[in-house]
Amino acid sequence: MAFLGSYRASVLLLLTCASCILMPAAADYAKYKDPKQPLNRRISDLLARMTVAEKIGQMSQIERENATADVVKEFFIGSVLSGGGSVPATNATPEAWVRMVNEMQRGALSTRLGIPMLYGIDAVHGHGNVYRATIFPHNVGLGCTRDPELAKKIGAAVALEVRATGIPYVFAPCVAVCRDPRWGRCYESFSEDPKLVQQMASVISGLQGEIPAGGRRGAPYVAAGQRNVAACSKHYVGDGGTAGGANEGDTPATFHDLLSVHMPPYYSAVAQGVSTVMVSFSSWNGAKMHANRFLITDFLKTTLRFRGFVISDWGGIERITTPKGADYMLSVKLAIMAGIDMIMIPYTYTEFIDDLSTLVHNGTIPMSRIDDAVRRILRVKFTMGLFENPYADFSLAGELGKQEHRDLAREAVRKSLVLLKNGKAGEKPLLPLPKNAESILVAGSHAHDLGNQCGGWTITWQGVAGNNLTTGTTILDGIKHAVGHGTDVVYSENPDAGFMRQNKARFDYAVVVVGEPPYAESFGDNLNLTVPAPGPRVIQDVCGSVRCAVVLVSGRPLVVEPYMDAVDALVAAWLPGTEGQGVSDVLFGDYGFTGKQARTWFRSVEQLPMNVGDARYDPLFPFGFGLQTRAAADMEALN
């Protein structure tokens, strides 16, 4: 019995020691790493393990230029971005992008908790920073298609091209309601009409995937797998309504007007499960949006029940004070307390981290506000599967610029064109143009210029003229493909009156393609909105000598009334992107014109702002205007 008691005691001691060995392993079980755990349980488990430094790191988004693996690891950086034109190398391949993003991710995953980094990039009309990407028409053109399903397809194609470079997050779409075309970002807006912007916000479901029926309202949603991206509706709110169209300006409006004109697209975005919302540089009745607690926390997060995270614009918090950055710590305090969760601090991240740490430790910013921000950021990261699949691979490289996407972009170009005039009084319509003419003239600064055709946010932030920036088809290329083999196509960028006198008998007709140079944001603000030189002279010289179709490439309506009598046909082509053949498809009647104005076309800038529904409404071409034509084959069948 003594021996048996001794044996039992030894076994009990052994089991006790074994449990001591096993207990740390059980205690270390991380629920947040288990995809079988409910989402909120994973978030809470991870949040409870995080230090203040790790939480503040998650709230920080820095520029690619600074984001080495070591920096990401040292500061627990939660997100990295590429600004306009910020690339790993000139003409970088998808594989080069993937390697860069994965190297930064390696730094994030090597931290104590291994929270993956979220890489974001602007993709406002295709994967614009990336060489050989498909560039779609800017939103100003897509609005004229009035085709939400097309927008959704474009979103899905853009998502694939972005994922091809290893990036899972885009700062798109812009759902601004541009009420004044003098604004340099007006081409990023689908329309002056909030209902049409709401409809075209369907691009979000293309980018992220279709939210399941019965999905929780306001919760971020990104479809499983690696073919979709987290989206960002921007710029919240009222950015398209600033006085005089001034970028980063002030939007004077009652709360009722803000709700009825500028807020509706966000109702649609939240309903589609948009993952993030970006705050606008602009102000509302003198109050900076980046410091507006009422609109960010009380309305967006509480009333609309938005559960994703709110992100600042590029260096946006610095603009809270005047002059910019005058009191950085105050700016940090106001922005965080207003409800911004992730701060886009491209270059001042160490100062931001230091100041926010001080504000938390001294009790100025409560830990509850930090926890709310981090909980939202983690919710998006878990939802999009970033913890299970943090690294990108090369399997989607072939999606970048593939023919299927270029065909879709070409379709979007065709449907976005608006025919404003077709034939002088008493004469037959000029369009569709005959393909078998003996000789035609193609003229103008935008006829054979891919950069002008694409506009801003293409390869570089502001965009750049020329044909060396990326791959695509110019409008001239499209015309040459469209005409018969025996037609002589003469291209002269800037023909003068003397050239036209000598050659007027030579040409059956002319196509004149003129418009605006590329621009973005404040650099595009324009108070006169005239057709840039030498466009007016080329129109007068060419159209005064031969029947002509003028194609206007621009990010907004311009002053064209002085030229209306001279031209036989006028086409608004907006900023069509890389697939210029979509323009020739319609000019030559392979397809009919179907686009309708998504903006009011004013007579003079003195009328601005002027929008559909205004008491004083005297446009040159009203909202919804657009002459319709049939495809040439359909016309022949009717005859």
Backbone angles phi, psi at 379, to 5 degrees: -60, -45
Q: How far apart are CA 10 and CA 7, in angstroms?
A: 5
Q: Which of 521, 525, 568, 585 is flagged as catalytic?
A: 521
- CA-closest candidate to residue 140, choices 555, 451, 462, 453: 555
407 is catalytic: no
Chain centre to alpha carbon of residue 190:
11
SS3 assignment for 445-488: CCCCCHHHHHCCCECECCCCCCCCCCCCECHHHHHHHHCCCCCE
Provide Rg for the chain, Cα atoms: 28
371 is catalytic: no
Structure token pair of residue 270: 């939240």
Q: How far apart are CA 294 and CA 291, in angstroms?
A: 9
Chain centre to alpha carbon of residue 627:
29
Which residues, other chains included, contact 428 with Cβ-Cβ below 8 Å and sequence gap of 6+?
none
Q: Is residue 509 within a helix (H) or strand (E), and if so which, with residue range?
A: strand 509-515
SS3 assignment for 67-108: CCHHHHHHCCCCEEEECCCCCCCCCCCHHHHHHHHHHHHHHH
Q: Which of 188, 193, 313, 411 is flagged as catalytic?
A: 313
Torsion over CA: 329, 335, 341, 344 (sign):
negative
Structure token pair of residue 631: 């495809």
Cβ(181)–Cβ(244) below 8 Å: no
Cβ(238)–Cβ(266) below 8 Å: no
Structure token pair of residue 313: 């614009």
Q: How far apart are CA 189 and CA 182, in angstroms?
A: 13
Q: What is the DSSP letter of 185?
A: T
Q: How far apart are CA 270 and CA 299, in angstroms?
A: 12
Residues labelled catalytic? 313, 521
